[in-house]
Structure 1
């Protein structure tokens, strides 16, 4: 069941909240601005249903949010070095909105765009058009985003797109998860395992060096389950550059999964995707004059799993390509399975 509620105005456009509810009464909320996930309400091991993603207490905070809470990011997630790239004999210059670099599609990116919507067989379908030249990107791109919330507490996100000219394209979702429910504590006691045998080292500006290195014998090895406090306070130089925590791309094993456990609530999140990579971010820089679940935002209050192509892939020939051509139909899927720890 999907219900639609008007929750405010942005100029002459209505802010709409869509609530997708399954037969058990568990639900998710999505905003039409930025296709942002506002809530995912699932039970703990005692049956207590709580929100397990970070959300602003004041809806107006979403209008100018540097942290991109719950947002759909496009055209390209992550950084593009020096805000420029070459493609098919042309050089394209993008906005430098992160120092000398381009981040998350630019300052006026899809997180700030209003999506049109339709409801189709208990699926929420959101759409937008990105005109040629928007934020410097070539090609008119038509984007469709489908959310499906199942009776098994699985959130499927299906990304589709077509373009009139070749363009880099690597969208993602920027939801911060905290399985304690209602952000009771930080995520440092959460346990993480990832089928990610390789990671991407970064420069001091958090731009990929171009290397893809094995995680073995590094702080980035999550092939076996580890508590996150081992990385939020690690002394590794790469982690210090990220702000004493993880903010790094990983290359996933094909068919692999990400598993996040929270032992006190007993909740488990499994992330399954056909994307080649994931940027894991432990909210190292989350702070500001706003509240989440009644508490002031602090670092490590959530963790993001930004499934996508590798950042700066358009400038890195040994990374999996993120170029979408005019004769192609883009379709990628990421699923978030909410379960109990076994």
Structure 2
């Protein structure tokens, strides 16, 4: 069942909250503003239903949010070096909205845009047209994001897009997960396992160096489950550059999964995707004059699992391509399955 409710305004534009409820009474909530996921309410091992994603207590915070809580990111997630790229003999200049670099599609990006919507039975479709030249990108891009919330507590995000001219396209979702429920503590006691044999090193400005390295014998090896406390308090220089935690791209094994577990609540999140990579961000810089679940925001209050193409792939010939060409149809899917220890 899908219901809608007006929860605020941006100018004269209403902010609409969608609630997708399954037969078990578990739900997902998101906004037409930025496609932002504001709640995923699932039970812990004792049956207590709580929100396992970070959400602002004040709706006004979503209007100007540098942290992109729950947002749909586009056209390209992550950084594009120097805000520029060459494609099919043409040079393109993008907005430089993070120093000299381009981040998450620009300062006025999809997390600031209002999506149109269609409800088709149990499916919610969010629709957006990114015009030719938006923030410097070529081609008109027509995007449909389909959201499905199943009775088995599986959230399925399917991205579908076409373009009138070749363009880099690598959307992602920027939800911060905290499986304790209602952000009781930080995510440092969570355990993370990923079928990710390779990671992408970054320079001092958090831009990929162009290398793809093995995680073997590094702090980035999550092939066996590890406590996130180990990485938020590690002395590794690469982690200090990211703000004492992880903010790095990983190349996933084909068909591999990402598993996040929280031992006290017993909640488990399994992520599967047909995207080549994931950016793991442990909320290193999450702070400000706002509250989440009644508490002041702090670093490590949530973890993002941003399934996508690798950042700066448009400038890196050894990375999987993120180019979408006219006449092609883009379709990628990520599933988030919630369960609990029995």
Q: Residue in 2 aligned with 1:138?
A: 138
Q: Distance in 2 between matches of 1:26 and 1:340?
A: 13
User: Which one is further off, 64-73 or 10-19?
Assistant: 10-19
Q: What does the per-residue CA deviation read over 1:52-72, in whole Å, with 9 as the maximum and x for residues that have no partner?
A: 000000000000000000000
Q: What does the per-residue CA deviation read over 1:116-137, in whole Å, with 9 as the maximum and x for residues that have no partner?
A: 0010021110001000000000
Q: Distance in 2 between matches of 1:224 and 1:10?
A: 45
Aligned runs of 1:1-342 on 2, under 5 Å? 1-341=1-341
Deviation (angstroms), 1:341: 3.3
Q: Distance in 1 between matches of 2:40 and 2:225?
A: 24
Deviation (angstroms), 1:105: 0.2
Query: TM-score, structure 1 length as denominator?
Result: 1.00
Query: TM-score, structure 2 length as denominator?
Result: 1.00
Q: What does the per-residue CA deviation read over 1:9-56, in whole Å, with 9 as the maximum and x for residues that have no partner?
A: 112211100000000100010100000000000000000000000000
Q: What does the per-residue CA deviation read over 1:248-288, in whole Å, with 9 as the maximum and x for residues that have no partner?
A: 00000000000000000000000000000000000000000
Q: Distance in 2 between matches of 1:254 and 1:125?
A: 27
Q: Distance in 1 between matches of 2:32 and 2:177?
A: 20
| RMSD of aligned Cα (Å) | 0.5
Report the secondary structure of 1:60's partner residue.
helix
Q: What does the per-residue CA deviation read over 1:134-160, in whole Å, with 9 as the maximum and x for residues that have no partner?
A: 000000000000000000000000000
Give 4+ residue runs of structure 1 displaced > 3 Å after superposition: none
Matched positions, count? 342
The unaligned stretches of length 5 or more in structure 2 are none
The unaligned stretches of length 5 or more in structure 1 are none
Deviation (angstroms), 1:307: 0.2
Report the secondary structure of 2:57's partner residue.
coil
Report the secondary structure of 2:25's partner residue.
coil
Q: What does the per-residue CA deviation read over 1:85-127, in whole Å, with 9 as the maximum and x for residues that have no partner?
A: 0000000000100111000000000000000001002111000
